Structure 1
Amino acid sequence: MSRAEQPQSLKQARRCLARTRKGTACQCPAMPNGRCRIHGGLSPGVPGNQNALKHGRYSRDYLAIRRAVAEMRRELHSLKKQMD
């Protein structure tokens, strides 16, 4: 559907306040929050969302384990130096 064929209400809708890479305004119709569905839709989750927990290399538990292992390596290295 071309712009000329769009319904009149869609043509008169507020436009998104986001900027494109060129610096021009986004041409999509805005939602009540002032952004279009692409630039400011629903949030990715709610506070306490168990499905959004961090995992892997940067999780709190993994970082604690890495710190503990690094501390043990330092201690072993210092013991090795004392033995020599």
Structure 2
Amino acid sequence: MTHPRNTGPMRLSPRCGARTRKGTPCQAPAVSGKGRCRMHGGAKGSGAPKGNRNALKHGLHTAEARAMRALVRQLTKRTREILDDL
């Protein structure tokens, strides 16, 4: 196949190793030095963040927070009992 542009290096470059949703291999060229194309994680900054940020705890279910909520419930219940007696 002849083409006016120089497409030889592009056609001979290594292909992305990812699979498409159809199950066929991705036909895009891999990013240099990587095994994936820019759409499948070869681009700089793509992929999951470093570390496991999803594992960070917000503190809602710590022992201290549960104890504080139990204390507030007890105080609220006792306050209602005192107000009902008045």
TM-score range, shorter chain: 0.5 to 0.7
Identity %: 33
Shift in alpha-carbon separation, 1:43–1:23, aligned structure 2, 3 A: same
Q: Normalising to structure 2: TM-score of the pair? A: 0.56
Matches within 5 A, 1:1-84: 5=3, 7-31=7-31, 32-40=33-41, 41-44=43-46, 60=57, 63-64=58-59, 66-67=60-61, 70-81=66-77, 84=81
In structure 2, the gaps of 5 or more residues are 82-86
Bigger-Rg structure (1/2): 2
Q: Cα RMSD (Å) of the superposition?
A: 3.5
Aligned length: 70
In structure 1, the gaps of 5 or more residues are 48-53
